[in-house]
Structure 1
Amino acid sequence: MDQLKLKLQEYYQHYQKLEKKTKKTASAGGVDTVQDLETDILTQFGLPVSKRFVQILHDFVNHSVVNDQLLDYVSKKLRTAARKYLLAPVMTDLELLTQGRDQKRSPFDVLPELGYPSHEYAVFLIGELLYRRNVAAQEVMDELKRVQKHNSWEDLLVLSKINNYSTHELYTKLKKYQLNFVDDFITHLRRQEVAKPQNRRLSPAEEGYKPNYKTISKVQVEDIVFDDKTMPTLFGKIKTGTRYTRITIGLEFTELNQLLMNSGELGIEISNAIKKRLANPAAEKPMVIDIKAEFGEPLKLDNSYLEVYKPQHQEDGKWTEDKDAFYFVDKILSKKEFDKKAKEAEVKTKIEECLELIGGSYVYYQRLRRLGITEEEAQVRAGLQDELLFKLSFYLNKLKD
């Protein structure tokens, strides 16, 4: 049996294992193996990994039994497709892009043939801007080239998850590369999110209680549980004094992605694993990522500060905090943002202390006046000889009345 047939058999076996969902932890790795084999097989024929050619392999694995006749048939079909593709008239990238628009071909077909990844931004450029909004093909092609030149695919994805993205340093960086459709892309993604049926939790204000917020950091995440319909949950531990205590944290997918993007290479690997499992219809639900088992170590959230609160329930007509060590995330701060907020709080406290002293000086001034001290002398003794300071002290004292 030749190498191609062996490769096809291997592909068939891996695909069938993936379909049968033998193990939850095998699903993510199984998807990688299947995709690698698809790339390997098609590349042997000089074919791009586009949807129309991958479909030949998907049709192949739908057969219940593999035999030599089926392998010969698939090999012949791939050779025919390769001959037709490779002997087709040579086209420039711009011509190929224009043809894709005219023939309404899937962006997932066009992009691999152009040599670009089927990334969300690339799909947006072709499927939304070129096909639906009639942006000039040359503009789309130029944008693809700029993103590829600066390898900005991942930066675009990270930026799209940030709330105030236009003030972020990544936005400035991408604009320096003269990427013209970043704002359109992010707006498009967020409109899609709004259009989706929402399974969001109610805020404390919507439920009718005032939560007790606390800020936590240095969380060690051991497991992430999620599916495509409910919010993810983190299971781990946090250091309290000299010992670790268990903690469970509920958060939105956007918040989870923000945490992962702030957690270095391990965070990115986990994010990719989550995306693959969500994209796999055969994955068991809810999906569980045992981080230590799959990646060799727990995820340490050292670069993020979480403002969290315990949910509350009504008990005898009063709102009462749940006793479990379960928290919802209200806000995620980077170390820089946390330090800035802490500094602002410290400065605010100092200002309040100063204002308290200035307001108290007016009380001392009044006492001196009652003792018969002249107004000018009383102001000097109370430290209020400055006219503006005297007025400020007067009004601050008045606020206490």
Structure 2
Amino acid sequence: MNKTNTATVTSTQAISVSQIILDESNFLTLWGQVKKDDGWHRCDFVTTYETLNTMLRYVQDRSDAVQMTIVQKLEHMGQNPDLIDLEAELGSPVLFDNMYFRLTRPGYREEGAWIEYTDGECYYIDDVLPMPAAREQQYVKKIDHCMDMLRKSYELYLGYLELDFEEDTARQKADLADDLKYTLAYYAWKM
């Protein structure tokens, strides 16, 4: 297994987990599905407890039920490996969505080349990040628009200077009489 490595990196914004397999290692195997452009596909995932905790933090509404199910299983875990059937315990698979999952496909080295052997049916979950909220995206758009308007004002100011307007008159005509606005416009133009 020391020859195992990852070859292909991909990403998704949603996975569904039906079962979790626990063993004595620091890794978990999650049985479920991955959302791709053309729909949901059956897939296994390998990840760490830390990554699962991160995933649970981002789905706060489902987090408590999943955490309690895992804790109860760990307290009464007899055999290794052991299975937590989330679908049976909670009534449905657990959906982890509105996240950015960085996934890699396992592979092994053969004659100097990496060979992938899972055909997209197994991924390592390397990293999980929250998706920016729609409200945050609105603010980013508004800030970008503001910076664009400041940049255009500074370009207008430079145009007036080229036409030999006085400094103060050029700033007034470009609506940059305020020193702070003028400075912001300058830095927006520089970007």
User: Which bracket does the TM-score occupy, shorter chain normalised?
Assistant: 0.5 to 0.7
1:369 to 136, 143, 161: 161
Matched, 1:289 2:81: no
Provide the aligned C-alpha RMSD in A: 3.9
Deviations 1:20-62 (A, max 9, x none): xxxxxxxxxxxxxxxxxxxxxxxxxxxxxxxxxxxxxxxxxxx
CA distance in 1, matches of 2:166, 2:93: 69
Q: Which residue of 2 aligns with 1:328?
A: 125
CA distance in 1, matches of 2:75, 2:29: 16
Q: How does 1:1-400 map to 2 (within 5 A)?
A: 216-217=13-14, 219-239=15-35, 243-256=39-52, 259=56, 262-265=62-65, 268-277=68-77, 280=78, 283=79, 285-292=80-87, 294-295=88-89, 297-301=91-95, 305-311=98-104, 324=120, 326-331=123-128, 343-397=135-189, 399-400=190-191
8 Å Cα contact 1:249-1:329 kept in structure 2: no
CA distance in 2, matches of 1:328, 1:301: 15
8 Å Cα contact 1:255-1:332 kept in structure 2: no
User: Matched residue of 2:24: which SS?
Assistant: coil
The aligned amino acid for 1:308 is F
The structure where strand makes up a greater share of residues is 2
CA distance in 2, matches of 1:222, 1:242: 20
Note closer, same or farther for the CA distance 1:212–1:296 as it changes in structure 2 (3 Å cut).
closer
CA distance in 1, matches of 2:69, 2:30: 16
Note closer, same or farther for the CA distance 1:327–1:384 as it changes in structure 2 (3 Å cut).
farther
Q: Which residue of 2 aligns with 1:173?
A: none
CA distance in 2, matches of 1:369, 1:345: 36
Deviations 1:259-293 (A, max 9, x none): 3984454652344124422xx2xx1x43333444x
CA distance in 2, matches of 1:266, 1:310: 22
8 Å Cα contact 2:103-2:126 kept in structure 1: no
8 Å Cα contact 2:157-2:174 kept in structure 1: yes
RCO higher in structure (CA 8 A, sep ≥6): 2
C-alpha displacement of 1:212 = 6.5
C-alpha displacement of 1:388 = 1.8
8 Å Cα contact 2:66-2:86 kept in structure 1: no
Identity %: 21
The aligned amino acid for 2:104 is P
- Gapped regions of structure 2 (runs ≥ 5): 1-5
8 Å Cα contact 2:10-2:104 kept in structure 1: no
C-alpha displacement of 1:365 = 1.3
Number of residue equivalences: 171
CA distance in 1, matches of 2:145, 2:46: 38
8 Å Cα contact 1:267-1:299 kept in structure 2: no
The aligned amino acid for 2:83 is V
In our comparison, the structure showing a higher alpha carbon Rg is 1
CA distance in 1, matches of 2:168, 2:86: 73
The aligned amino acid for 2:48 is E
8 Å Cα contact 1:362-1:390 kept in structure 2: yes
Note closer, same or farther for the CA distance 1:242–1:297 as it changes in structure 2 (3 Å cut).
farther
The structure where helix makes up a greater share of residues is 1
